[in-house]
Each structure stands twice: as C-alpha cells, then as structure tokens.
Structure 1
Amino acid sequence: MANLEAPRKGFADALIRLGERHDNLVVLDADCAKSNMTNLFKNRFPERFFNIGISECDLVGTAAGMAIAGKVPFANAYANFLTGRGFDQMRISVCYSNNNVKIVGHNAGTSAAQEGATHLPLEDISLMRSLPRMTVIVPADAVEMEKAVEAAYYHDGPIYLRVGKLPVPIVTKKEEPFEIGKAIKYREGSDITIISTGIMLDESLKAVEELEKQGVSAELLHIHTIKPIDREAIVASAAKTKNVISVEEHSIIGGLGSAVAEVLSESQPAKLRRIGTNDRFGVSGKMDELLDLFELRAHRIVSTANELLGEKVNS
C-alpha cells in the first residue's frame, strides 16, 4: 500500500529549500498560512513572508508589484477564492503584464470536501487555463509537488500551481524527471490510452492493472502540465490506440478533458471519453466520499474503457 502524504507538505518543504538558496523568493498568503503550511516558510524567513489578509485581489496585485521589483513571489490562497475573486488581477496585473508571479491555489479539488460546496474548487483549472501566458501545473502527489515548486521558481512567467490539502498516496518517484509541458508515460499499451492529471494518477494506475487482467493493453500518460499541454505525446499515443480516456479531479469543462479534446480534434481524430465532475458543484463530505460520489475511481475508468472498446473487449 502506498504511503500517504499531503501535497501541501511537499509544497512547503520545497519552498523552504528554495528560500535557503534564493533571497529573491518571497511568500504571500491570504490569512491561511497554517492551512497552506506557508507558516513554515514564515518561521524560517519572517522578513520574506507577507500576510495580506483575506483579500485575494490585493494578494495578487501585491505579488505583481513585488515581481516588478525583482522578487519571485509565490501568492497563496484557497483555490476557489483565489481564482474567482483574483481573476481580474491575474488577467491584467500578472498575465497581460507578463509578470513573474506564481499563483498557488490551495485546498484544491476534493481535498476541500468537508468545508462545503462553496469552498470546493472544480473550475479553477478551467479559469487559469483560459488566461494567455499562464502555465498550469497539477501535480499528482507530494513528491511531484516538490519538483513542480522547483520548476515553477525557475520558470520565467506566470504559473498557476494547484495544491491539495489532504493526504493522498505517493505514486511518483523522486528520480523521475519533471519538465514543464512534458507528459510522463507510466505504462505502454496498444488498445486504449488513459490520460490522467493530479491525484487521478493513482486511480488510473489501478485501472491499468485491472484492464491488464482483462486482457486489455492500456497506455497511461500522466499530464502534470495542463498548459502548455504535451500535444506530441497525446497525438502519438492516440494514433496508436485510437481510443482515449481523460481522467481529472475537476470539471470536464475547460480542464484536462477539454484540452485533450482540442488536441485530438485538431491533430489526431480518436474516440474520447472524459471522466471528471460533470458540470456540477460539490457538496460537503469526506474526501473519499466525494471521490465516490463523483465516480472518480478505478472501476469507472475500467467500465468506461470497456464501453469505449466495445466488442473488442467483449470478444
């Protein structure tokens, strides 16, 4: 059984390591430092931590100003409020102005489950992906989160980094390379392509194993960078299998599923099914309960693959 660790812990650890090496790294928070674990950076570098208060618009605007002054700001807040309320500032002060700001959306996806529907961001990737110049990164676990934070610091330009609060299985390895915009192929296959992002890598790995038992050869691509998406990897895999499933802990509208559909429609026609939350809001509950409610589980990936392949699987 995989070890469990909160992605926010990987984020905090990487931030402190970078802070030790780079004096220009600053951290801003919207009065959620304990929850976001940015308090650990504050304890280590108090002079480079700024609590802006519960004011996401000011958070983003201040971060943009710091970037103009030569700092590398990581602006932290709950993903639902940050991407919703701070959108205009991100659009103009960060992306239009092309300022080197790292927008960090915490408490993302089902990890906000017990805080209620209003706090459950299932549209944040869609919003951030729509912004010109914005890079969008959705790591799978705490280990990959550390690599993503490091890559974000060295990337020159706006970035949105999605961070989960609650512990999830560690399924990636420290020695695996991480490059912004490059997919990672976890399994070779010939019958169907499964494309996952974020914490859905764990369920996708389970689905691949179950499909293998059924005689189905599934290829698995992990897309940690939603934008820019790895078109080459998607096209190559779809050309081989002709059948594709996208899997995300986010709305199928505007997220990974939409990005994959755009690539396929323009470059490599293939049958596609999108697994995610289907144009709906969340509800209050435990994280596992919400993953069950949204059917973001391996058994749904398997059943969707069987439906997509049809007679080929049933013969």
Structure 2
Amino acid sequence: MSEVKKIATRDSYGNALVELAEKYDDLVVLDADLAAATKTGVLKKAYPDLHIDCGIAECNMMVVAAGMSTCGFVPFASTFAMFAAGRAFEQVRNSIGYPHMNVKIGATHAGISVGEDGASHQCNEDIALMRTIPGMVILNPADDVEAKAAVHAAYKHDGPVYLRFGRLAVPVINDHADYKFEIGKAVTLREGTDVTLIATGLPVSNTLEAAEMLAAEGISAEVINMHTIKPIDKDAILASAKKTKKIITIEEHSVLGGLGGAVSEVVAETNAASVHRIGIEDVFGESGPAVELLKKYGLDAEGIYKKVKSFI
C-alpha cells in the first residue's frame, strides 16, 4: 500500500497565489516579514513585483491592504493567525470589515499544530474572533486540494475573507475528479446513520480515520467536512441532525466560539440533535511536537474515536 501524500496547507497557499498571479493582473500579496514561513515567498520569487513586505507591522499591513483594495487591487494580507486575528483585530474590524473591503487574509500557523512555538503562537481563538465581524467569510480547508480551491474562491468572492492554514503536513483526501469547492457548502465525505461528525481543517482526515474505527464496531458515522465556518451550511447540519440525532464537532480550535459554537447555534434554534464539541478546552496550548500535541488534546484519530464512543 502506497504512503498517503501529505502537504501543509500553508504550502498550498503559496502555490495557489502563484496560480492566481498567472491568470489575473490585479493580485497583490502583502506579508509581515514572514514570507518564508507563510510561503508567500513562492509568489515573491515568481512575481517579485506583486509582493510587498510590510515588515513586522501587521496592523499597518491590514490598513495598507484595505487602501489598496480601494484602488482596484485584490490584496492577500499574509501572516500568522495569531498576528492576523489577534494583534491586528482592530484594523481588520474597522478598516476591512466595517467598510466591507475586498481584502483576503491569509492566516497561517493556526492551532496547536504550530508545535514547539508554544502557546504565544498557537492561535486557538482566531475563528471565534473573525466570526464576530459582520460580513467576514471564514474558510478553513482540510488539505492541499481544498486549500488551493479556497484561495481561488476567496479571490473571486467580493468582500473580506479569512483563510486559515496550518504548519503541519496533512493527508491529501480530496484528490478526486468530482471534488467541488463552494463557499458555504459543506461536503459529506461519508454517509452514516448513528452519529454525525462535523470536522473542519486539520482534523478532517483524522475524523475519517476515526469513522473507520467506529465502523469496525458497528457504529455508522456520517462525516461532514465543514470547510466554511461562516457562512455555515445550516441545511447540511440540519439534514444530518434529522438522521442521526447526535452531532459531534471536531476542530483544532477552542471549543468556545469556533465550529462547535457555530453548529450549536444552528441546532439550538431547532432542537434537532444533541451536540458534543471536540477541540481545545478552555486552556492555552503548550510547546511540543505537533503530532504529540494533537494526541494529548484528543485530536488524533484514536482520541476522536474514544470521545465519540464515550458520547454515544
């Protein structure tokens, strides 16, 4: 059996920017002195005139991006999630969100899989923060194929978009001919009748593996890839809830305000199912190897499997 191909979605981000630059002449990419880490350096090497290094001044970068969007450019402002959503929140809210500017925010190194960089850089709150900004679209792709598709979709979308990418290489699960990405439309990866597993981003592949483990014990798990956190696909959530009556959300993010919060809000309005959230509990991250951290916080396949078993 051949080894599963793994690619970090931050790499996909850089490659997708080059693809856009080859097709469109209004693209501009901004970075905050992290081109090598965010992978915008790939674009800088291919199209140096389209890359602007704003230095370690993320707040200023967001305002520059907002200004450039008023001049006909489609700016992608790139930095770590902690700095994009955390440090520059006010500028994202007031200069991009409030006037509804056509700015795309490429946020890499999200979640605890940042690893050894520790709690200061492991942003587990960014989705919650961005969800509060009216009109902000939030995309959290699961693999290389989906990440590239998300970047292209973000470019075509008129309005602000927050794109969330990871540092850790993850399995490519969407490399098939009939894959289709559409903002606001979840993808059902596996049909099931006993429980619904709604995952986003990095844990999607681990959730699929956990579903296989559950199937071996006669538990039929439906797996939904919720690549768009906002606008959330209410129809997909409620249709699956009607079938299984039990929903479990899985995210590499705080259980407060992220995917679990968004799904719970939808379900609470209809009382369609009971909901359990798997993610980072009300704690900060810590320094350590990414794979070990995912295991410790129950976001590996075995951890997800055990928590689902306990819930149902």
How does the TM-score come out when normalised to structure 2?
0.97
1:50-199 matches, within 5 Å, as 50-175=52-177, 176-199=179-202
1:27 and 2:29 aligned: yes
Q: Which has the higher helix share?
A: 1
Query: For the residues of structure 1 that align with 2:305 and 2:33, how far apart are their CA atoms?
Result: 42
The reply on whether 1:260 has 2:263 as its aligned counterpart is yes
Looking at structure 1, the residues matched to 53 and 307 of structure 2 have their Cα atoms a distance apart, in angstroms, of: 45
Deviations 1:94-125 (A, max 9, x none): 01101000011111113311112101111011
2:295, 2:303 within 8 Å by CA — same for their partners in 1? no
- Cα distance in 1 for partners of 2:303, 2:216 equals 16
Alpha-carbon contact 2:44-2:50 (below 8 Å) kept: yes
**1:294 to 2:311 alignment:** no
1:305 alignment counterpart: 308
Segment of structure 1 superposing worse, 248-257 or 263-272: 263-272
Does the alignment pair 1:220 with 2:259? no
One-letter amino acid matched to 2:44: K
Q: Distance in 2 between matches of 1:228 and 1:174?
A: 25
Is the 8 Å Cα contact of residues 271 and 308 (structure 1) preserved in structure 2? no
Query: What whole-Å deviation, never above 9, does each CA across 1:56-108 have from its counterpart, x for those lacking one?
Result: 10010000000011100000011101111111111111011010000111111
CA contact (8 A) 1:135 1:227 kept: yes
Q: Secondary structure at the match of 2:269?
A: helix
Instruction: Report the CA distance between 1:226 and its aligned residue.
Output: 0.3
For 1:111 and 1:307, how far apart are their aligned partners in 2? 25
State the AA in 1 paired with 2:82.
N
What's the counterpart of residue 46 of structure 1? Answer: 48
Question: Secondary structure at 2:78's aligned position in 1?
Answer: strand
Quick one: which of 36, 39, 44 aligns to 2:38? Answer: 36
The secondary structure found in structure 2 opposite 1:282 is: coil
1:312 is matched with which residue? Answer: none
Q: Specify every segment of 5 or more residues in structure 1 that has no aligned partner in the other structure, as ranges.
A: 310-315
How far apart in 2 are the matches of 1:135 and 1:22? 22
Identical aligned residues as a percent? 47
Question: Cα deviation per residue 1:120-149 (whole Å; 9 max; x = unaligned)?
Answer: 111011111111010000000112111000
Say whether the 8 Å CA contact 1:75–1:101 is kept in structure 2. Answer: yes
Aligned length: 309
Q: Do structure 1's residue 248 and structure 2's residue 251 form an aligned pair?
A: yes
1:171 Cα offset (Å): 1.6
**Which residue among 16, 19, 24 is the counterpart of 2:18?**
16
Cα deviation, residue 2, structure 1: 1.6
Give the C-alpha shift of residue 45 in structure 1. Answer: 1.5
Residue 174 of structure 1, CA deviation:
4.7
Q: How many Å separate the matches in 1 of 2:181 and 2:84?
A: 26
Structure 2: where are the runs of 5+ without partners? none
CA distance in 2, matches of 1:220, 1:6: 22
Kept in 2: contact 1:96–1:132 (CA 8 A)? yes
Q: Distance in 1 between matches of 2:50 and 2:190?
A: 42
For the residues of structure 2 that align with 1:294 and 1:56, how far apart are their CA atoms?
A: 30
TM-score, length-normalised on structure 1? 0.96
Q: What SS does structure 2 have at the residue aligned with 1:219?
A: strand
SS at match of 1:119: coil
Distance 1:145 1:294 in 2: 24
Q: State the shift of 1:166 in Å.
A: 2.3
Aligned counterparts of 1:306 and 1:27: Cα–Cα separation in 2: 45
Q: CA deviation at 1:268?
A: 4.0
Query: What's the CA shift string for 1:260-289, capped at 9, x where partnerless?
Result: 100100124311110000011111111001
